[in-house]
Amino acid sequence: MTSPNKTHPFPTAESCEEAFYQAIEDADLDAMMAVWSERKTMSCIHPGAPMLTELDDIKESWRQIFTMADTIRFKRYAHSISAEGSLSIHHLREDVLLLDEVVNTVIVTNIFKQEEDGWKLILHHASAEPDLEEFEAEIEEVNAAFSSLSPPSPTLH
C-alpha cells in the first residue's frame, strides 16, 4: 500500500490520526513523517521527553523509537474531540502494548490542522499516566512528609 503523502493527502483529521498510529505500528518512518505538518509551530512531546519543535528532531525521535521497538500496538480510548473549522483536537488515553502486554498507559492530546494539502498533525503531546492507586499512595506520602517538615504558618492565608 502506498503511504499517504503530498499527493495522497488526508481528507479528515480522523484519517490523519489513523495514519499516525498505523505508522507507529508499522514502524514506518516515511508514513509517520507524511502525517506531520511542515509549519513552523508544530510540537511533538513523547512521554517523559523534551518538547521537539523541529521536523528533523521529530523524525529522529521516531527513528529511534522504531529502532528500539518495532512491535508497538495501541488500544485507544477517546476522551473528547473538539473541532471547529480547520482545527481538530483529539484527547485520548492509550494503552501501549509490547508483545501483547500493556507496558504503559499514556494520555495524549493530538491536534490536527487542515492545510492546503489536507489534514496534518501539528501537535502530539503524550505523557505517561500513573496507576491511580499508586499515585494516591505517593501523594499521601508527600503530604505526610510536607506536614512533618513545615512549621505552622498561621500568617500564610
137 in contact with a second copy (CB under 8 A): no
- Options 55, 89, 97, 104; binder of a second copy; rule CB under 8 A: 89
Amino acid in the structure at residue 157:
H
87 in contact with a second copy (CB under 8 A): yes
Grid coordinates representing 112? 490536527
Amino acid in the structure at residue 104:
N
- Options 2, 80, 148, 155; binder of a second copy; rule CB under 8 A: 80
For a second copy, give the closer residue by CB, 59 or 125: 125
> Which of 88, 130, 123 shows the shortest CA–CA distance to 108?
123
- Options 5, 82, 102, 144; binder of a second copy; rule CB under 8 A: 82
Amino acid in the structure at residue 61:
S
144 in contact with a second copy (CB under 8 A): no
Amino acid in the structure at residue 124:
H
- Options 56, 84, 100, 101; binder of a second copy; rule CB under 8 A: 84
Rounded to an integer, what distance in angstroms lies between the CA atom of residue 102 and that of residue 106?
Answer: 11
59 in contact with a second copy (CB under 8 A): no
102 in contact with a second copy (CB under 8 A): no
144-to-10, 115, 139, 148, 150 alpha-carbon distances in Å: 52, 51, 9, 6, 10
For a second copy, give the closer residue by CB, 15 or 61: 61
